Copies of this chain bind each other. A is one copy, B any other.
Amino acid sequence: MNPESVKNSQNISPAIRVGVLGFGGLGQAAAKVLAGKREMILVAVADQKGFAYAAEGLDIKECIATYQSQGSVGYLEPVGTLTNNSIQDLIDTQQPVDGYFLALPNLPNDFIPSVAKQFIAAAWQGVLVDAIKRTSAVEQLLGMKEELQAAGITYMTGCGATPGLLTAAAALAAQSYAEIHKVEITFGVGIANWEAYRATVREDIGHMPGYSVEAARAMSDAEVEALLDKTNGVLTLENMEHADDIMLEVAGIVGRDRVTVGGVVDTRNPKKPLSTNVKVTGRTFEGKISTHTFTLGDETSMAANVCGPAFGYLKAGQQLHQRSIYGIFTAAEIMPQFVK
C-alpha cells in the first residue's frame, strides 16, 4: 500500500495534493508542516534551479537534504528535473496538483502576480495561496480577480501570519463593534540565525526607514551582516507596508489608514523580543470604546504562524474550488480550515 492509499483509507476525501513553490526557509518549513498532515500530501516542490514531482508524495526529508547539500530539489533521483524555468516547467508537466503554496520571496513586487499569470496562461485550475506581505502586491493580485475567476482558479491572498492569521483575528474581533477606530499589529520575531531566512530578513530591511525593498534586495550578505552588527541584530520596524490594511479595507471593516503594522525582529535570538499581537479598538453600539486583543504564544515560530494558516486557507480554498467558487479571497474574508 503506498502512502496515498493509506491516507485515503483513513479519510472520506482523498488527501489534497499540494505543491510548494520556493524552497528557502519558508518553503522548507512548509514541507515540514506537511510532513505531519494526513489530509495533505506534498507532491511538488520548485526552487530556482529545478523542481521535483511525485504523485504518491515526495520524501520531505530527502527534498530538504538534497536542497541543502546540492542547492536544488532538481537533483533528486528519479523525481527531480533541473531547469532555470522551474515553475513554468512544473506547470507544463500537467501533473495533478490540487493547490500550490507560493512560498516565494516577492521581490520584485510583481513576482507573485507574474507567477499567478503563468498558472492562468497554462489553463491550470486549482487553488493558489500566498503569504505575501506588501499592500501593493496584494493590490495587484486583487486587480486580477476577473482573470482568476475566468480561469477557474481560487486564489487565497495574504494567508500567512501578518497579513493572514492576525488580519483574520482583526476581522473577527471587529464583529463586536459598530465602528472600528484602529487596528494595530505588533509582531515580535526571534530567529537564531538570519541566514535561514535571508529573503524574509531582506524584506524586513526594505521596510526600515532609509531603505527601500529594491535597496535591501541589492544588499550583499556582508552588507546585511554589517547592518545587523550596528543594531545588535535587532530590526525595529514601524508603519510597514503590510497588506493587512488593504485586506481589512476590502472586507469593509476599516479604512486602510487606520491599520498599522510594526514589529521588532531579533535576528540573533530565537526568543521573541515581544509577544506578537493585534489590537482592535472600536466603538460598540452602546457607545463604549474598547479593545480586543489577540496574542500569539511566544513559543510559536514565524514558520508555524505562517505555514499553518497558509495550509488552513489552502484547505478552505479547496472547499470553495470544489463548489466552483473562483476568483480571489483574502484571509480576512474566509475562515481557514484546520488541516489534520
Contacts and interface: CB of A to CB of B under 8 A. Distances in A.
Interface of A: 29, 32-33, 35-36, 165, 168-169, 171-178, 251-253, 281, 284-286, 288-301, 303-305, 307-309, 312, 323, 325, 332-338, 340
21 contacts: A33-B285, A35-B285, A36-B178, A169-B169, A169-B173, A171-B338, A172-B336, A175-B308, A175-B309, A175-B336, A175-B338, A176-B308, A285-B307, A286-B301, A290-B296, A290-B297, A290-B299, A293-B294, A295-B295, A323-B323, A335-B335
A35 B337 CA distance: 33
Nearest to A159: B175
A309 B176 contact: yes
A207 B252 CA distance: 38
Nearest to A280: B297
Contacts of A307: 285
- Give how many copies assemble into the complex: 2
B296 A292 contact: yes
Contact of A297 (B285, B292, B303): B292
Please provide the 8 A-B residue pairs with the shortest distance between their CB atoms, ordered closest to farther.
Answer: A290-B297, A290-B299, A284-B304, A335-B335, A288-B299, A175-B312, A175-B309, A175-B308
A337 to B, nearest CB: 7
Contacts of A290: 296-300
Contact of A176 (B29, B173, B291, B296): B296
A208 to B, nearest CB: 26
B304 A176 contact: yes
Contacts of A288: 299-301, 304
Given A172-B168, A251-B337, A297 B291 contact: yes
A290 B333 CA distance: 26
Contacts of A174: 338
A198 B284 CA distance: 23
A337 B253 CA distance: 9
A340 to B, nearest CB: 6
Nearest to A168: B172
A177 B308 contact: yes
Q: Which of A299, A308, A323, A335 has the most CB of B within 10 A?
A: A335
Contact of A168 (B293, B304, B305, B335): B335
B333 A304 contact: no
A335 B338 contact: no
Given A333-B335, A335-B171, A285 B32 contact: yes
B285 A304 contact: yes
A172 B171 CA distance: 11
Given A165-B175, A336-B175, A299 B305 contact: no
Contacts of A334: 335
A308 B292 contact: no
Given A165-B176, A174-B338, A177-B304, A293 B292 contact: no
A340 B289 CA distance: 17
Contacts of A177: 300, 304, 308
Given A29-B285, A177-B304, 12 more contacts: A33-B178, A36-B285, A165-B175, A286-B301, A288-B299, A290-B296, A293-B293, A293-B294, A294-B294, A294-B295, A333-B337, A335-B335
